Structure 1
Amino acid sequence: MFSSKQLVRLFVTSPSTWNTSKNQLAKLRKKTGYTFANCKKALDMHNHDLEKAEKWLHAEAQARGWAKATNLGGRKATEGLVAVLVNKNHGAMVELNCETDFVARNSAFQSLIQTIAKSCISLVPQVCTNGNLLKKEVLEGGRLGSIPGPDGKSLADHVALQIGVLGENMILKRALLVSANENILLSGYSHPAPQQQSEIWLGKYGALVAYNTKDKQPLSESNSDFGKKLCQHVIGMKPKSVGNPETDKPQENADDETVLIYQDYLLDPETKVKDVLDETNVEVLDFARFECGESDVDDAEETAARAQA
């Protein structure tokens, strides 16, 4: 005869129950990415209710992430990625920093910055509200971190969560939001370009370029391709301004040139950018360039000044 305790123990550890527990554990682990130990703990605490276990895991990870973010806050974070996203006449470029290139190449980190870019571009109509044909806004600090993600949690919460998961300090450094009217085309690009291209460009460098045709005629597909080439030039040659041929003069030494129209064209160094623009009937209205980890105060001030121009 089995005692009542033995019957309870036999029931709890029966093969069918154990298989169910294993299946739930595997599902929870696959869905959340948390360790088997934490997934098992969550299931045990919530009577094997998957939904409640998942909610508890996320809440616990969020709390630990904020705690770790506080502890790691003083550590230098100059690696990371720049993400560039263009959706018709809206554009967003964001920079997310971490401590090592190893984490920057992690799929969770890359998924995080993609979430940030999508959240930022969805905010463009609300933020870019001045009356110009080309509207821009730079977001940093608490204003950037308070933007809601797709699940309603702030971007700061999303970053803190990944700090807890990946164990490195992360800084949501800046975002540039751009809105243009229908006669202006926006193009984006990153370098190095990702091996598997998606709607979001990820790299160490990023650029956004706003341009149109000089006669204000509709832009063709070839113009769109040329926009990507202009972004490549901006990334590689680091111009500081577009330039005006009536007021700006070229530098005597071409290597010192920072005015876009007077620079040697990156893809054809024998030709000036101005000549290429004339040949293609394109006018560059504005551009922005992000370099991951750049700390030059002048670069930061220039980005802000250009956004308010």
Structure 2
Amino acid sequence: MLILRRLLHTSGPGGVLSKSNLAKLRKRTGFSFVNCKKALEKYEQDVDKAEAWLQEQAQKEGWTKATKLKDRATSEGLIGLAFANHNNFSAAMVEVNCETDFVARNESFQNFVNQVAMTTLTHYRKDCEQLSEPVKISISGNDLASLKADSGQSLQDLTALTIGQVKENMTLRRALCMFVPADHYLGHYVHSPLNTIKDKDSFCQMGKYGSLVAFQQKGKVDKHKFQPGEFGRRLCQHIIGMNPLNIGEYTRPPPSEVENQDVEVPKPDEEASKGFSDSEDNIPAPPEEELPTEMLQQEYLLNPSICVGEHLLEHKVTILDFARFEIGENIDGGS
């Protein structure tokens, strides 16, 4: 205790070191006791100047580390899905890669993924406030790197800063934004989420899989049975599990075929209420037989006795667009 008191109250080049300034600087930056003490002494207890210097030194260290590690493979990471907590009209999905799953579970890395997702959503939402139809925007890693976060730093600079913190190579791989008009809905889902970061206006969920779906409901339905948020979430579960390549078309079978079926078909909502586990182990394995790539022709994941087209028809829903991200998947054919 005597040593600590001397350290906090000894006069030096920067004068008497204030406990409150030291605590404030550590809370602001998250840097170590020793580094914060050094910065406060250097700038004579000026917390703002000390913080700026610490960030500058961390940035230099991060760029040095990033240069050394740039050729190391980044096959792990997280999908970050950001959306406003007051509507279902806008969302952004990003993929940020690192070297190991250990770092993907690191708080600094997850905070960075949140920054990337929220910066992406904020930047592109400004140009999509008045819409007459859904919009999907694909963003490359290079375009992501140039975006400015709230701090004024580019995401490229923040990437280097985070590399310096976690000591692993990282890459901004891709992003996608979806926006829909007020009379549409936007479903979202992250499978097996590792973390959720929220503030007063938004949420960001992170995991290994993410999906979005834009849809519209027309006609009268039972409002107690049709809950847009949950309906969209279940569609996104299907998209992650069954990996459709396009929406496709649904053609109703002839009445004679339906009449000759003796199998009792359970109601979709009854089957769907059983839910879909968030455990990554429950992502369905691809069946041996080749499945339809068109979503509307696929068996509905939460009720295999019907196809997605039948499920949508019952609820008078039309799917307009969708997106699916999986960490490390091959995207050579496009994002």
**What corresponds to 1:178 in structure 2?**
178
2:247 aligned to which of 226, 242, 247: 242
Q: CA RMSD in A?
A: 2.8
Query: Given the alignment of the two structures, is residue 66 of structure 1 paired with residue 71 of structure 2, yes or no?
Result: no
Q: Secondary structure at the match of 1:48?
A: coil
- Secondary structure of the residue aligned to 2:57 is helix
Distance in 2 between the 1:195 and 1:160 partners? 22
Instruction: Report whether the alignment pairs 1:95 with 2:95.
Output: yes
Give the C-alpha shift of residue 295 in structure 1: 2.7
Which of these residues, 198, 204, 229, is aligned with residue 200 of structure 1?
204
Alpha-carbon separation, structure 2, partners of 1:131 and 1:212: 14
CA shift digits 1:196-231 (9 cap, x unpaired): 6742221100001000114499x9861221000001
Deviations 1:67-100 (A, max 9, x none): 2111111111111110112333222111111111
Contact 2:10 2:17 in 1 (8 A): no
Tell me if structure 2 keeps the 8 A contact 1:264–1:271. yes
Cα distance between partner residues in 2 of 1:197 and 1:269: 34
Matched, 1:107 2:107: yes
Q: CA deviation at 1:40?
A: 2.2
Question: How many correspondences in the alignment?
Answer: 282
Q: Stretches of 4+ moved more than 6 A in 1?
A: 129-132
The structure-2 alpha-carbon separation of the partners of 1:68 and 1:207, relative to structure 1 and needing over 3 Å to count, comes to: same
Match of 1:222 among 220, 227, 230: 227
CA 1:86–1:254: 2 relative to 1, 3 Å: farther
Q: With the length of structure 2 as denominator, give the TM-score of the two structures.
A: 0.76
Name the aligned partner's letter for residue 27 of structure 1. K
Distance in 2, matches of 1:66 and 1:288, equals 33
- CA distance in 2: counterparts of 1:292 and 1:44, whole angstroms: 44
Counterparts of 2:67 and 2:130, CA distance in 1: 37
Offset, 1:257: 1.7
Report what 1:292 is aligned to: 327
Q: Which residue of 2 aligns with 1:249?
A: none
Q: 2:46 aligns with which of 46, 49, 53?
A: 49
CA deviation after TM superposition for structure 1 residue 53, in Å: 1.0
Flag structure 2 segments of 5+ consecutive residues without an equivalent.
1-5, 252-287
- Matching residue's letter, 1:241: N
Q: Percent identity?
A: 42
Hey, which of these two has a bigger chunk of helix by percent? 1
Contact 1:237 1:266 in 2 (8 A): yes
Structure 1 residues 262-292: Cα deviation after superposition (integer angstroms, max 9, x where no partner) = 1111111222111111111111111000001
SS at match of 2:241: helix
**Higher mean Cα deviation, 253-262 or 41-50?**
253-262
Offset at residue 27 of structure 1 (A): 3.4
Q: Could you tell me which residue of structure 1 aligns to residue 27 of structure 2?
A: 30
Between stretches 72-81 and 115-124, larger displacement belongs to: 115-124
Cα gap change, 1:98 to 1:70, in 2 (>3 Å): same
Structure 2 residue 311 is the aligned partner of structure 1 residue 276: yes
Q: What is the match of residue 79 of structure 1?
A: 76
User: CA 1:125–1:25 in structure 2 vs 1: closer, same or farther (change >3 Å)?
Assistant: closer
User: 1:184 & 1:129 partners in 2: Cα distance?
Assistant: 14
Distance 2:27 2:131 in 1: 48
1:200 maps to amino acid: C
1:47 offset after TM fit, Å?
Answer: 1.9
CA contact under 8 A between 2:195 and 2:206: conserved in structure 1? no
CA distance in 1, matches of 2:177, 2:245: 19
Q: Distance in 1 between matches of 2:100 and 2:127?
A: 32
